[in-house]
Amino acid sequence: MSRILIVEDETAIAELEKDYLELSGFDVTIENTGDKGLKAALSEDFDLIVLDLMLPMIDGYEICRKVREKKDIPIIMVSAKKEDIDKIRGLGIGADDYMTKPFSPSELVARVKAHLARYERLVGSSIKANEIIEIRGIKIDKTARRVFVNGEEKAFTTKEFDLLTFLAENPNHVFTKEELFNKIWDMESFSQNDIATVTVHIKKIREKVELNTSKPQYIETIWGVGYRFKV
């Protein structure tokens, strides 16, 4: 749920904005002085700020400038005076949008949604999340090729990592040792030695991920067939 901070000293306006934003599914916090608003904006994780210009203690202009030094979340500045809006727009303090009071609450909601969507697209395109597989206590970071068991990182060789990842990506699917060898070692033919390689690797993986290797919770042996990652 997106968190919105409203910094507004006129209680009736703040409450009206809050009601409309909450009806649209946002989590809303109101601060009614500039100092409290600035403190909240810098210390908490808000997704967007609706910022009044004329405020007690610290004005919206100063808050916007200070928040911009630290955060790039959308800021919508509001003011009762159109001249003030025109003036601060010209100063380029980094607000994303400006609205002159009175405005309709549904207009505010529409702009909040548009700015959040735009911001999420920007963030989403610049930071690509790592590809992570999480099954109970095991976390496999495919991008960084790291494995964590109950929060503790374990060292895996390349083939151990590939084998564990392949099994975890195909949960509850039973693979024969031949199939696993073909898949991970990428070879067509195999000997009894190669089959033993799979067994050895499974044993090594279990030593790292299982609490009790004789009663595996993750990689199960299906007797006479092969292995499967149990979910």
Report the interface residues with Ca ion, using CB under 5 A.
Answer: 9, 52, 54
Which pair of tokens denotes residue 191? 């000997």
Nearer to Ca ion, 11 or 199 (CB): 11
Shortest Cβ 14–Ca ion spacing (Å) = 10
Smallest distance from the beta carbon of 75 to Ca ion, in angstroms? 16
Cβ proximity to Ca ion, 47 vs 52, nearer residue: 52
CB of 13 to Ca ion, least distance (A): 8
**Smaller CB distance to Ca ion: residue 78 or 180?**
78
First to last CA, the chain: 29
Within its chain, how far is the Cα of 15 from the centroid?
A: 30
Which CB sits closer to Ca ion, 62 or 141? Answer: 62
Tokens matching residue 41: 């904006």
Nearest to 101 by CA among 187, 166, 12: 12
The CA distances from residue 158 to 80, 126, 142, 155, in Å, are: 63, 29, 12, 10
Handedness of CA 165, 170, 171, 174 (dihedral sign): negative
CB of 19 to Ca ion, least distance (A): 19
In the complex, the smallest distance separating the C-beta of residue 54 from Ca ion, rounded to whole angstroms, is 4
Minimum gap (Å) between residue 101 Cβ and Ca ion: 9
Question: Looking at beta carbons only, is 17 or 52 nearer to Ca ion?
Answer: 52
Shortest Cβ distance from residue 59 to Ca ion (Å)?
A: 9
Which lies closer to Ca ion via its Cβ, residue 79 or residue 197?
A: 79
Residue among 17 and 162 whose Cβ is closer to Ca ion = 17
Q: What angle do CA 40, 45, 48 make, to 5 degrees?
A: 85
Phi, psi (rounded to 5 degrees) for 52: -75, 150
Which residue is nearest to Ca ion, using beta carbons? Answer: 54
165 vs 170: CA distance, rounded Å: 9
- The DSSP 8-state label assigned to residue 147 in this structure reads E
- 192 residue type, one letter: Q
CA distance 30 to 9: 9
